[in-house]
Amino acid sequence: MSNLYESFNERSWKCLEAFSPACAQVSMIILIDRQLAVMELIKRFTEFRLNHEKLVNSYVLDALETARHRKLLARFQELQP
């Protein structure tokens, strides 16, 4: 679990730096593994800006969990006769 947290922490900061909110931004679309994961639309820019870090952290964790599940599934399938 600590590896997941370390990976999360590092990637989260990189994503926060790369995806800082643009002026007057009120929405974001998140893709995980090239598939639509979520679309956020918040009425006011000030609310969006206040919640931006929480939103990004949440989706980084979702992406890491998705990748982890895919790796486990691939390993399981390799073991099947």
* Domain hosting residue 46, numbered range: 2-79
Q: Quote the pLDDT of residue 5.
A: 63
Q: Where would I find the beta strands (DSSP E) of the chain?
A: 27-32, 35-41
Mind listing the pLDDT tens digit for each residue in 33-53? 788 888 999 999 999 999 999
Give the β-pairing of 27-32 and 35-41. Answer: antiparallel
C-alpha to C-alpha distances, 69 to 4, 13, 60, 80, nearest whole angstrom: 12, 22, 14, 17
Looking at the chain, the number of H-run helices and the number of E-run strands are 2, 2
User: What's the residue count for the chain?
Assistant: 81
| pLDDT of 59 above 90 | no
Q: Quote the pLDDT of residue 1.
A: 52
The structural domain count of the chain equals 1
pTM value surpassing 0.85: no
How far is it, in rounded angstroms, from Cα 38 to Cα 58?
11
